[in-house]
């Protein structure tokens, strides 16, 4: 409110939200009480009742749905808050870990386990990360429902469970490595989204491609070779079999499956960026789970005289991967 908003206004980020639908009591009643996505039969009935063409009614419903989406200014402020947090916590994690022996030798994660002292710095690192992911889990229900709501919710559940479980079982050393590794890509992602909201397209594309490289290298390369290697093999070799080992590894493997899914989406977006010269709309966008793109029902011969212009598509994300400027062939 006091830092991000003045910065956004100074960078000339658009403050107004999507265009509002014109007031109409009948359509509003259908929208709030019956459906936000009327089928063809209902559209035809409303067309006869209001003497509007079907296209105008479709446009009204699309604009009404878009009304509830946040403005670019709001999304910039949220991205700046997340960028600030990720940058701080990643820097803190690097400064903390570079003084620890287990950063350079992962076998040290299991030296003396389970009788490893809980250092104040490590405790603080864990509590701050856990509180942040709890906040993401709750805010997801308040934000607009996105296409990968289920995947993101699963990710937050797994992350909170992993942090809590590793803290309770004192598997915190490898936990700090996992946390720091995951924060690296998120810093670049939020910076790319802020550049996108400021309409700095070249910088946004560069940051997005940087994010794609950092994400894929860290999540598909370093994570399995560094984290999964020590939890699956070095931990078993050092301590043998015990129940917490299997629970911990199952959660880490689920996280890796999610990494593979997101990497596929990111590679698709990066390919479009290279082939088209700019970052196209990513499959992981902040558009509602039911797409608000223009319907293909043809116009009637006598369009309503008070048809409003098309509403904005809100193609810029707040919680997901970057989405660039709209491409005409995709609408």
End-to-end CA distance of the chain: 34
Q: What is the mean pLDDT of residues 62-85?
A: 85
pLDDT tens column, 10-62: 888 877 766 777 888 888 888 888 888 888 888 888 888 888 888 888 888 88
Q: Is 171 helix (H, G, I), strand (E, B) or coil?
A: coil
pLDDT tens column, 267-306: 988 787 677 765 544 444 443 433 344 343 333 434 443 3
- Measured distance CA(248)–CA(320) in Å, rounded: 26
- Measured distance CA(129)–CA(144) in Å, rounded: 24
Task: Give the residue among 227, 232, 291 at the shortest CA–CA distance from 259.
Answer: 227
- Burial (CB count <10 Å: 0-12, 13-18, 19+), residue 56: buried
Q: Would the pTM of this model clear 0.85, i.e. be above it? A: no
Q: What is the mean pLDDT of residues 252-276?
A: 87
Could you give the residue range(s) of every CATH 1.10.10.60 domain in the chain?
19-68
Q: Give pLDDT, residue 143.
A: 67
Question: Dihedral of CA 178/228/217/256: which sign?
Answer: negative
Q: Give pLDDT, residue 180.
A: 96
The DSSP secondary structure of 183-232, one letter per residue, reads HHHHHHHHHHHHHHHTT-HHHHHHHHHHHHHHHHIIIIIIIIIIIIHIII
DSSP state, 98?
T
For residue 193, name the pLDDT band (cuts at 50, 70, 90): very high
The residue written with tokens 């209902």 in the block is 42
CATH for 19-68 is: 1.10.10.60
Contact 133, 255 (CB under 8 A): no
Q: Is residue 323 scored above 60 in pLDDT?
A: no
């Amino acid at each position: 409110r006091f830092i991000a908003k003045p910065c956004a206004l100074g960078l000339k980020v658009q403050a107004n939200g999507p265009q509002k639908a014109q007031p109409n009591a009948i359509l509003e009643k259908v929208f709030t009480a019956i459906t936000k996505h009327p089928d063809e039969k209902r559209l035809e009935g409303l067309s006869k009742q209001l003497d509007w063409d079907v296209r105008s009614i479709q446009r009204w419903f699309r604009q009404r749905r878009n009304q509830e989406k946040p403005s670019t200014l709001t999304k910039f402020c949220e991205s700046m808050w997340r960028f600030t947090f990720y940058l701080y916590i990643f820097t803190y994690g690097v400064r903390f870990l570079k003084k620890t022996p287990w950063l350079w030798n992962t076998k040290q994660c299991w030296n003396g386990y389970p009788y490893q002292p809980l250092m104040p710095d490590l405790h603080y690192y864990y509590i701050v990360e856990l509180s942040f992911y709890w906040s993401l889990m709750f805010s997801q229900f308040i934000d607009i429902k996105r296409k990968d709501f289920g995947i993101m919710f699963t990710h937050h559940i797994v992350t909170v469970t992993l942090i809590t479980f590793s803290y309770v079982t004192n598997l915190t050393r490898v936990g700090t490595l996992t946390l720091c590794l995951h924060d690296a890509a998120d810093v670049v992602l939020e910076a790319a989204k802020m550049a996108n909201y400021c309409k700095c397209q070249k910088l946004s594309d560069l940051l997005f491609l940087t994010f794609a490289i950092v994400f894929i290298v860290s999540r598909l390369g370093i994570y399995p070779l560094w984290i999964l290697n020590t939890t699956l093999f070095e931990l078993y070799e050092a301590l043998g079999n015990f129940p917490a080992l299997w629970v911990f590894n199952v959660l880490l493997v689920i996280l890796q499956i999610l990494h593979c899914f997101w990497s596929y989406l990111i590679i698709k977006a990066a390919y479009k960026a290279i082939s088209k010269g700019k970052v196209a709309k990513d499959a992981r966008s902040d558009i509602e789970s039911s797409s608000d793109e223009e319907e293909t029902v043809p116009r009637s011969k006598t369009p309503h005289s008070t048809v409003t212009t098309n509403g904005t598509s809100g193609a810029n994300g707040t919680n997901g991967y970057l989405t660039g400027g709209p491409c005409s062939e995709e609408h």
